Amino acid sequence: MALQAHLTISGRVQGVGYRDWTITTAQRLGLTGWVRNRMDGAVEALIVGDDTAVGEMIDACRRGPRAARVDNVDIEPVDLDVLPQGFTQLPTV
């Protein structure tokens, strides 16, 4: 069973390449899911994969790309019936 986590990342995380970095990092780790900007300035992501890869992704999200300043990563477990295919960028909400 794949581990599933919903992340909300706050700080200076928009306009610094955070979404592209998230997609590249998630694909490198073999994860599926999505990432999107939120109107409140945060970045939101759903990550799905094996425990080790999800843990590595969470640690990476706490650092972010070079230009980002991550203040907080809120993590909520989720239990989806239908798992995402690939790792994509969704429209801002």
**SS3 for 51?**
helix
pTM higher than the cut 0.85? yes
**CA 48/CA 6 separation, integer angstroms:** 9
The boundaries of the domain holding residue 74 are 3-80
**CA 59/CA 90 separation, integer angstroms:** 22
| Catalytic option among 12, 28, 36, 37 | 37
Active site residue 72: no
67 domain-assigned? yes
Q: For the chain, how many structural domains are there in total?
A: 1
Backbone angles phi, psi at 71, to 5 degrees: -90, -35
**CA 12/CA 68 separation, integer angstroms:** 5
| Catalytic option among 12, 19, 62, 66 | 19
87 domain-assigned? no
88 domain-assigned? no
**CA 2/CA 83 separation, integer angstroms:** 9
Task: Find the CATH number of the domain harbouring 11.
Answer: 3.30.70.100
In this predicted model, what pLDDT tens digit does every residue of 26-79 receive, in sequence order? Answer: 999 999 999 999 999 999 999 999 999 999 999 999 999 999 999 999 999 999
Active site residue 19: yes
89 domain-assigned? no
